[in-house]
Amino acid sequence: MTNNVVLAPETAVTESIVVDRLRKSYERPSGGDLTYAIDGVSFEVPQGKFVTLLGPSGCGKTTTLRCVAGLEQAQEGRIDLGGQVVFDAMGKRYVRPEDRPIAMVPQSYGIWPHLKVIDNAAFPLRYGRNRGRAKDVRERALRMLDQVGLAAMADRWATQLSGGQQQRLAFARALLCEPEVLLLDEPLSNLDAKLRAQLRQELRSFQEQFGVTALYVTHDQSEALALSDKVIVMNKGRVEQIDEPQRIYARPRSSFVADFIGSANLFAVQHVSRPGPDGGVVAETGIGAVLCGESAPGARGGDGGFVCVRPENVQVRTAEGERPALSDNEFLGTVASSEFLGDRLELVVRSGDVSITAFARAGFACRPGQEVVVALDPGATRYLPD
């Protein structure tokens, strides 16, 4: 592949990033079967949006981000940034990282230790893609440092900053590149939990203020849900689901997504009825017949799949009498464990050979071994055909 830096003509752009059927394998030094680190990854990010690549270690998030940056080349697929084709395996087009309209904030901040804070911030104005355009380099860098709360430390050595301050400096420097797309590879992972929560909100508000498109990599689901306009959930090199955070949580498409995001009860299904016009099904499970108000795409009548219900959508009440009356989606069970979490109890109830996790109010009186009735809210109970 040649280092062709000729760009396609500008077109009307609404998508800042278009990734189309990207496939990449790494060569194995010891030989053996080729496996794809990313295998047919496609997604689009509209201008000014914040989109997160989320998934477990090794699922291909960083490889995808590095392909967008131009630090890796895929064997198949195409990437457009800001309406320009920056990579096309078929057309043999590859634009070098320094010629792409991007800035990258790596996990380790990428701060130059031998430079003062101000010179780190001013680096892209002096040596970057837009060098020579800015006359008032120091003033512009100072203004940006002021925005991220570091102006008073401008003349310190960069190594004299705390981790959180270095992260802000890395962010200021990236924004001074005036990128179309900001690429962030787990930029908060070296910070403690409290600082992470504070900085992620700051990061989001800077991103919105500057109107830059952000592609963010994390394996931390709460970070992804809190920050993103859309989340791309990846598993084994493939995209499992692309959706808004609320939909990812409430309407997972697969048992993998349901299990990876938050906690979920997943009951194996022996047999399921054909979905009705509203997507509802009746699923035969180890606890009996469960009414599911919705099905994920691809559901048909037949065998297999899972019922998915979040613990907050399971109600628990004390079983009254020897044979308590049960309505639809109510099941008799025995409390296996009860944990006090401050604002609520987390209960595990055994029903048949199935364990159901539920939340109850902190004052709910129950003890292990006690008989209870669990009720699954049909509107929040979902059938996943995978």
Ligand X SMILES: Nc1ncnc2c1ncn2[C@@H]1O[C@H](COP(=O)(O)OP(=O)(O)OP(=O)(O)O)[C@@H](O)[C@H]1O
106 binds ligand X (CB under 6 A): no
Among 3, 57, 246, 327, binds ligand X (CB under 6 A): 57
Nearer to ligand X, 59 or 345 (CB): 59
How many secondary structure helices (H) and strands (E) does the chain include? 8, 22
The end-to-end CA distance of the chain, in Å, is: 39
Binding flags for ligand X, 144-173, as an x/- string (CB under 6 A): ------------------------------
Does residue 91 sit in helix, strand or coil?
Answer: coil
> Closest Cα to residue 228, out of 236, 237, 220?
220
Stretch that binds ligand X, among 57-65, 167-175, 255-263, 349-357 (CB under 6 A): 57-65
261 binds ligand X (CB under 6 A): no
235 binds ligand X (CB under 6 A): no
Among 54, 59, 102, 264, binds ligand X (CB under 6 A): 59
What single DSSP character describes residue 288?
A: E
Among 58, 97, 262, 288, binds ligand X (CB under 6 A): 58
- Six-digit token pair at 3? 């280092």
77 binds ligand X (CB under 6 A): no
382 binds ligand X (CB under 6 A): no
70 binds ligand X (CB under 6 A): no
37 binds ligand X (CB under 6 A): yes
Nearer to ligand X, 59 or 225 (CB): 59
100 binds ligand X (CB under 6 A): no
Residue type present at position 299: A
Among 78, 168, 196, 219, binds ligand X (CB under 6 A): 219
What residues numbered 1-30 form the site for ligand X, per CB under 6 A?
A: 26
% helix, strand, coil for the chain, step of 5 = 25, 35, 40
Nearer to ligand X, 74 or 161 (CB): 74
Nearer to ligand X, 35 or 337 (CB): 35
Helical H runs in the chain? Answer: 61-69, 117-127, 137-147, 163-176, 193-210, 221-227, 245-250, 255-260
Nearer to ligand X, 59 or 299 (CB): 59
- Per-residue 3-state assignment (H helix, E strand, C coil) for 110-175: CCCCCCEHHHHHHHHHHHCCCCCCCCCHHHHHHHHHHHCCCHHHCCCEHHHCCHHHHHHHHHHHHH
Between vectors from CA 233 to CA 228 and to CA 282, what angle results, nearest 5°? Answer: 110
User: What is the rounded distance in angstroms from the CA atom of residue 220 to the CA atom of residue 284?
Assistant: 34
Among 52, 60, 101, 382, binds ligand X (CB under 6 A): 60
State how far the alpha carbon of 259 is from the alpha carbons of 56, 248, 251, 256, in Å. 11, 11, 12, 5
Stretch that binds ligand X, among 1-9, 61-69, 259-267, 363-371 (CB under 6 A): 61-69
Strand-pair category, 288-292 with 230-235: unpaired
Stretch that binds ligand X, among 56-64, 207-215, 224-232, 308-316 (CB under 6 A): 56-64
108 binds ligand X (CB under 6 A): no
187 binds ligand X (CB under 6 A): no
- In total, the chain counts a number of residues equal to 386
Total chain residues near ligand X (CB under 6 A): 11
Among 62, 84, 165, 255, binds ligand X (CB under 6 A): 62
User: What is the rounded distance in angstroms from the CA atom of residue 369 to the CA atom of residue 15?
Assistant: 56
User: What is the rounded distance in angstroms from the CA atom of residue 126 to the CA atom of residue 121?
Assistant: 10
Does residue 103 sit in helix, strand or coil?
Answer: strand
Nearer to ligand X, 219 or 253 (CB): 219
Among 22, 55, 89, 100, binds ligand X (CB under 6 A): 55
Query: Taken in order 171, 173, 175, 181, is the CA torsion positive or negative?
Result: negative
46 binds ligand X (CB under 6 A): no
Nearer to ligand X, 36 or 331 (CB): 36
104 binds ligand X (CB under 6 A): no
- Binding-site ranges for ligand X (CB under 6 A): 26, 37, 55, 57-63, 219
